[in-house]
């Protein structure tokens, strides 16, 4: 089939291995997908947070760039696993945590998807309501979740097609907003005071890194259809470039907006950007840009949440895949829950969103450290794929090494946290600087490497299955 034909066909595969006969595409698909996933309003808000919480514009941009560059490396290394394994990201965690044990990080990943879907739905609903000229928040939220549900149900191909369209729309739309910002406001004045503060600067780094690291649990979901012989370097490079460039452009715009708008940006970010666009017609186009930008990343959340749920369910039931109807039902339920959360969202959106991102950073950096250390350094890219579906296989039901390291990796970050609800004692000694994500990445990687290397469970060479039958719905 041609690409448009594939995009309008409901995907058959779920967590089963993608056979060679169905592999297609190029690394450029990863560039456009991750560019579009980051050219969106939540990334703009994330950048604004770096200013709202104490940075001057220059140091906010530098801090976010360092965070995006560092976190993007981890994220893109996950992406490079996709063509090699032909599997969604989180099922590969069974090689580290065991067939049952992988459920521990998976449950937390689903919570992450719900959180990001809800926060994104709030902003998208505001944009749709502004476009339609209505006030009831449930109208915009309902329209948005229906659109996301349709795309996520069709699956992989339509997601990539929407990503390509959203990349073009995002570049044009955010580019126009940047031009308006420079022509309507004195942006240069935002750089008049370049005072440096260590604590807010490290917060900016953490916001950038956290943004990238939270993609890790699903990034390979969207590279798994690439041919197996696709060079890992190409997959890494395309993903890395797309996610870093897209996020840094959006976050830089957010920094400049927050620097020139001050408190005016806080009450309603969507309305402020609409006013920046100018006349009503152009404001309407900007609202469309906001909705299209959020469509891509929110669909990734919905689709990825199904992959995680399917991994949990099949781990305990022994099935190797779930069908189309199962994806449609789960995506619908997940979006319904996210819509309820969005309607009940606190008015203090920015502060809650900052804390949410940093909390996720605490939870997922140890998982990334363990997964990448095992895949690249301990197992050396050798995986027994059939054993990932067999609790009696080489990976077993539970792996105490990975689970203990993971829990320890979460707990060791607590003294380094810097949140409104809790500030760790070490963080206080550092003047409020948050370096918990660095601790959560490096220590678990070191502990797991030393511990797991004593008794590696990897096969001598990659073990592949025969094509898996698609399970019924």
Ordered by where they begin, the domains of the chain are 25-350 (1.10.4160.10)
Q: In this structure, how many other beta carbons lie within 10 angstroms of the beta carbon of residue 43? A: 28
Virtual CA dihedral for 457, 88, 211, 178, nearest 10 degrees?
150
The answer to whether 254 and 190 are in contact (CB under 8 A) is no
Closest CA to 149 of 13, 306, 36: 306
Distance CA 109, CA 112 (A): 5
The answer to whether 55 and 63 are in contact (CB under 8 A) is yes
pTM, two decimal places: 0.89
Q: Which residues pair with 384 in a beta bridge?
A: 463
Distance CA 124, CA 326 (A): 26
How much of the chain exceeds pLDDT 90, in percent? 48
The answer to whether 64 and 47 are in contact (CB under 8 A) is yes
Q: What are the tens digits of pLDDT across the range 233-244? A: 999 999 999 999
Q: CA Rg, the chain, in Å?
A: 22
Virtual CA dihedral for 269, 67, 378, 87, nearest 10 degrees?
30
Q: What is the mean pLDDT of residues 329-353?
A: 77
Q: Mean pLDDT highest for which of 69-73, 108-112, 272-276, 290-294?
A: 69-73
Checking if the pLDDT of 399 tops 50, the result is: yes
Paired tokens of 298: 């929110």
Q: What are the tens digits of pLDDT across the range 61-79? A: 999 999 999 999 999 999 9
Q: Which residue has the tokens 């992406």?
A: 79
Residue 471 has what pLDDT?
42
Distance CA 298, CA 114 (A): 10
Q: What are the tens digits of pLDDT across the range 369-383? A: 999 999 999 999 999
Residue 135 has what pLDDT?
85
The answer to whether 112 and 290 are in contact (CB under 8 A) is no
Q: What are the tens digits of pLDDT across the range 197-251? A: 888 898 899 889 989 998 988 899 999 999 999 999 999 999 999 999 999 999 9
Checking if the pLDDT of 469 tops 60, the result is: no
Distance CA 138, CA 141 (A): 5
């Amino acid at each position: 089939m041609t690409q448009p034909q594939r995009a309008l066909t409901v995907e058959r595969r779920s967590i089963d291995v993608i056979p060679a006969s169905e592999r297609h595409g190029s690394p450029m698909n990863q560039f456009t997908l991750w560019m579009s996933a980051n050219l969106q309003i939540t990334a703009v808000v994330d950048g604004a947070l770096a200013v709202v919480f104490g940075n001057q514009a220059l140091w906010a941009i530098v801090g976010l760039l360092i965070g995006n560059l560092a976190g993007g490396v981890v994220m893109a290394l996950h992406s490079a696993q996709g063509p090699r394994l032909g599997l969604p990201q989180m099922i590969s965690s069974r090689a580290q945590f065991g067939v049952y044990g992988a459920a521990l990080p998976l449950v937390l990943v689903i919570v992450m998807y719900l959180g990001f879907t809800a926060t994104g739905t709030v902003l998208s609903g505001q944009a749709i309501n502004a476009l339609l000229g209505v006030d009831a928040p449930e109208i915009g939220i309902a329209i948005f979740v229906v659109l996301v549900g349709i795309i996520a149900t069709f699956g992989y191909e339509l997601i990539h097609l929407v990503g390509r369209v959203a990349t073009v729309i995002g570049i044009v739309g955010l580019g126009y907003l940047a031009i308006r910002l420079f022509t309507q406001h004195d942006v240069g004045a935002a750089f008049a005071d370049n005072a440096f503060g260590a604590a807010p600067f490290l917060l900016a780094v953490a916001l950038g890194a956290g943004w990238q690291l939270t993609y890790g649990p699903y990034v390979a979901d969207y590279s798994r259809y690439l041919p197996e012989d696709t060079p890992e370097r190409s997959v890494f490079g395309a993903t890395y470039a797309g996610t870093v460039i897209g996020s840094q452009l959006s976050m830089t715009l957010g920094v400049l907006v927050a620097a020139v708008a001050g408190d005016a940006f806080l009450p309603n970010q969507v309305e402020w950007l609409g006013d920046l666009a100018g006349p009503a017609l152009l404001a309407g186009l900007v609202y469309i840009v906001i909705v299209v930008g959020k469509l891509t990343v929110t669909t990734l959340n919905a689709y990825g949440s199904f992959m995680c749920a399917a991994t949990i369910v099949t781990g305990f039931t022994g099935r190797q895949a779930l069908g189309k109807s199962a994806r449609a039902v789960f995506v619908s339920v997940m979006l319904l829950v996210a819509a309820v959360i969005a309607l009940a969202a606190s008015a203090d959106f920015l502060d809650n969103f900052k804390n949410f991102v940093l909390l996720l950073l605490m939870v997922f950096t140890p998982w990334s450290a363990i997964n990448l250390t095992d895949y690249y350094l301990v197992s050396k890219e050798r995986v027994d794929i059939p054993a990932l579906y067999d609790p009696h296989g080489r990976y077993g039901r539970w792996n105490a090494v990975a689970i203990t390291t993971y829990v320890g990796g979460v707990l060791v970050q607590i003294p380094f946290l810097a949140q409104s609800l809790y500030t760790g004692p070490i963080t206080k000694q550092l003047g409020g600087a948050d370096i918990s994500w660095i601790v959560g990445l490096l220590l678990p990687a070191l502990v797991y490497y030393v511990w797991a290397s004593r008794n590696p469970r990897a096969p001598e060479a990659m073990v592949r299955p025969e094509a898996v039958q698609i399970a019924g719905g």
